[in-house]
Every structure is written in structure tokens, then in C-alpha cells.
A and B are shown apart, each in its own frame.
Chain A
């Protein structure tokens, strides 16, 4: 079966533009997570969904960042008015249930803001 799929794999955008990053979790996984990874650092937690609802969005850096998961499957991370500091790899992960021992990560979307 397919793993976690993220699209696009690379995105270059101009400062100030709006971007959407998509995550297709493993089928049947109810828990979905977004992380952000800057160069040379480990991934940092952004937001966690259980089903359709955002159970914890405490990692979102500011109100320019927003994520949705309307049908409890695909999720979209939305960034408004992008800044150069938003450049990073955005990773999505899913697990069958909350608290499962293993989270499965996608390959990430590399976002570059120029």
C-alpha cells in the first residue's frame, strides 16, 4: 500500500504569496501531523489532527499558518503572506490512532520563499 504522500515535492514562491501544501495520509489513519524542518535541525511539531479536528495547533508559528482536514483524510497546510523565514521542509505524518507507537512520515515538501 501507498505511504504518506505529499505534494508538491518542491515549491518555490515569492515573498508575500500564498501557498498550499497537501498531505495524503495512509488510508484509514485517523491521526495526522504536520512538522517543519529547517536546515540542520530536527523536525518541529506544528499541528495534530484527530479525525477532522485540530486537536493541537500549538506549534503553528503565527496566524499566517493554517491547516485543514475537512473529511478526516487529506490535509492542507496553508501559509499566507509567505516570508523568507518560512523556507523549510514541511513534513506530514500519520498514524492509525492517537498515541500509536509508530508515525509514518512522508518525504516532505521543500518550500523556498525568494
Chain B
């Protein structure tokens, strides 16, 4: 799986949009971009995934650049409960997830 690069930490004000970047410059054409998050003392939770097109669900939006070398996860209205480590994963549609260290997002009141 392609390697990803994420900032170690980010802060966001409650109610504002949180934009979490991820670089994956070595991504291959058939590799998907997945996002999971891990709230303290819990297991990881799936958020969203995409291949080429931007995606949106009830949790977040995923914006993938045209060259697919980077992406941004957007939480439109961050709440305190969104404080977590966010993992960007590039996955070739198989069973294994390769997690990096992720980005610790802290949502402040």
C-alpha cells in the first residue's frame, strides 16, 4: 500500500470546519483512500473512502485532488466529540489496512 503523510496534530474550534490533509504521492491507480478515526480508548471507526471522485456522507466529506496525490477530510461542523486521531490510509481494495500515526485533531470549546 502507498505511504501517506499527515500532520501530527491539528486544532479546530467547536462549530467550525475541520480540514485534515493527507499526502499520498505514490498512490497507484487502483488504490482507494480511506479515512478512519480513533477516539481515545476505543477501536478505530470507519469514516469514508474514495477512489477519484469527491465523496460525502453523514460524517464527513472527502476531497481528492485530480492527480490523486493528496486528499482532505472535511468535518463540516466539528464538535468536542470529534476529538480523535484521524488516519488516512491508501488501500488497494483488499482486506488489510495499513495505519500510520495519523493526525490528532483536538476540537476546542
Binding site for B on A (CB under 8 A): 4, 31, 33, 35, 40-45, 48, 50, 55-56, 91, 93, 95, 98-99, 101-108
Assess whether A91 is in contact with B96, with CB atoms less than 8 Å apart: no
Contact of B99 with A105 in the complex, beta carbons under 8 Å: no
Binding site for A on B (CB under 8 A): 34, 41-46, 49, 85, 87, 93-102
Report the Cα distance A95→B96, complex, angstroms.
12
A98 engages B95 (CB within 8 Å): yes
Whether A91 and B44, one on each chain, are in contact in the complex, defined by CB atoms closer than 8 angstroms, is yes
- Residues from chain B with a CB closer than 8 A to the CB of A33 are 95-96
CB distance from A6 to the nearest CB of B (A): 8
Q: A41-B101, A101-B49 are in contact. Are A31 and B43 (CB under 8 A)?
A: no
Q: How far is the CB of B2 from chain A (nearest CB, A)?
A: 15
A108/B98 in contact, CB under 8 A: no
Q: Which of B45, B93, B98, B101 contacts A45 (CB 8 A)?
A: B98
